[in-house]
Structure 1
């Protein structure tokens, strides 16, 4: 497994501590020990990232940096574990999830998620903790700062939670039909799975095709079910140069349905959306969109 390396900007983005402040801490307290490449470029490793995340969490919760600097790595980590066990602020939990990812600590990651789900419910945990966390991770994964193994580790654990939650939503008939799929070559399905959960929780029917759906399979299932809505998320495939063509194609092919699109290749891009295609900038928008659709009255 390749070792992850981080720039000081990466540390800033993940920890929320400004690069200028990190440099001061480095110089004044020797908190960080940057390495250098053969061309003399400074970089940081997983241990540095874990340390600064823990330091940031303690500092945000009232520990003075001068006191933290006198603690060894184990003392810092033990204090953070105690803190995240007793406090449930969203930022604290996002920090704790990030550390669990770096350490590939499945038990800790699962405990954090399960505790928050019990406290806030599944939907709010996803919206306020998991999504902000994965947004940070997603950006760094795309730039190569996060090791693919770490990203896969996290995605699979979140995916497991989502599948269990989706299975708990029993379709009772009625509502609209939603066909959910990812384009060929697209494997990032967390957003699509959460959309499936939200749609089912509102009483609608979900036909879920998932990752890398061949065009021919999509056409067959579409003809079979005639859904009123299609939804897809474009994170990495098709590439930026092909996204407009892809959107135009599915718009024409499924012109009798409304198509919802989202993902990194859609959000904030200079794209033209046909009349039957609606771009969703964030998963919260999907929730709001569902609330505008004719409600389904379910038996209690």
Structure 2
């Protein structure tokens, strides 16, 4: 079982520590434990409780009313609320609760409801991406543990794979080779790029995580893709990423290479002429729209 400080609860819920202490004293809302050295801490049940409380309070429920609810009543109110509203922040909050509770069924229902309401692409851009960014920060600060991140990543990955399989290739489409560098495992962004590209009728050759350089060259020689797309989040590290980009562009001079990821965006790299850095998935969509326009004008 994980333990949390009141600052962790503040980060996860958005409720100020001062307010949490007042609610604790006035409504007996939380029951902090103490270490052998008398330091207060909270457990998973406290976190689940305060996340539900925060979402209900944000949507107009008075704290005095919330404090009288059982945990099950709170959960049902939260679920009912997320079915009624399409506020992105509320949906992100609800996904956070599902993550902490490791509730796969609830997480899937929230995702499916949003996909029906606003579509798969909009759900990814406005709900899943901000949610993943949020849990990434929480994981780095130790507010959540790696098991939470793996749990969520696998569920999102499953959704993406199903969505990609439903897209069709057009004969007029370009060839795109998508891969992650050796040692790179953060795949969600690459999968979403594959979905966007394939949804526009282009052919996607997907190599996925940690692609060895020799394998990349072998596949390239077979398919001769028009575009290569990769995301550099952690590997190669900052001291080697410039060399990696230059070697990649030199090896595949006849293709347009698209680059993004933390290691690319957070450095002042010298980008070769056959490469382009993109900061957001919208720029990939713009490129795809330009390709469609060129095709129509031929």
Q: Same fold (TM over 0.5)?
A: yes
Q: 1:172 to 1:17 in 2, by over 3 A?
A: same
Normalising by structure 1, we get a TM-score of 0.88
Q: What's the RMSD between the two structures over aligned residues?
A: 2.5
Paired residues of 2:249 and 2:272 also in contact (CA < 8 A): yes
Give the Cα–Cα distance (whole angstroms) in 2 for the partners of residues 7 and 266 of structure 1: 34
Paired residues of 2:12 and 2:143 also in contact (CA < 8 A): no
In structure 2, the gaps of 5 or more residues are none
Give the Cα–Cα distance (whole angstroms) in 2 for the partners of residues 20 and 31 of structure 1: 14
Q: 1:40 to 1:159 in 2, by over 3 A?
A: same
Deviations 1:98-134, CA, capped at 9 Å, x for gaps = 1111111111111111111111111111111111111
Give the Cα–Cα distance (whole angstroms) in 1 for the partners of residues 194 and 265 of structure 2: 20
**Is the deviation greater in 203-212 or in 269-278?**
269-278
2:190 matched to which residue of 1? 192
Paired residues of 1:93 and 1:112 also in contact (CA < 8 A): yes
Paired residues of 1:181 and 1:192 also in contact (CA < 8 A): yes
Q: 1:7 to 1:226 in 2, by over 3 A?
A: farther
Give the Cα–Cα distance (whole angstroms) in 1 for the partners of residues 229 and 201 of structure 2: 17
Number of residues of Structure 1 aligned to a counterpart in Structure 2: 296
Secondary structure of the equivalent of 1:67?
A: helix
1:132 matched to which residue of 2? 130
1:249 matched to which residue of 2? 247
1:158 matched to which residue of 2? 156
Using the TM superposition, give the Cα deviation of residue 170 of structure 1 relative to its aligned residue in structure 2, in angstroms. Answer: 1.0
Q: 1:256 to 1:144 in 2, by over 3 A?
A: farther
2:45 matched to which residue of 1? 47
Give the Cα–Cα distance (whole angstroms) in 1 for the partners of residues 195 and 96 of structure 2: 24
Paired residues of 1:177 and 1:229 also in contact (CA < 8 A): yes
Which of these residues, 85, 101, 108, is aligned with residue 87 of structure 1?
Answer: 85
Q: 1:89 to 1:170 in 2, by over 3 A?
A: same
Paired residues of 1:175 and 1:295 also in contact (CA < 8 A): no
Deviations 1:179-212, CA, capped at 9 Å, x for gaps = 1001111122111011000001112111110111
**Is the deviation greater in 166-175 or in 285-294?**
285-294
Q: 1:52 to 1:257 in 2, by over 3 A?
A: same
Normalising by structure 2, we get a TM-score of 0.88
1:284 matched to which residue of 2? 282
Give the Cα–Cα distance (whole angstroms) in 2 for the partners of residues 102 and 274 of structure 1: 43
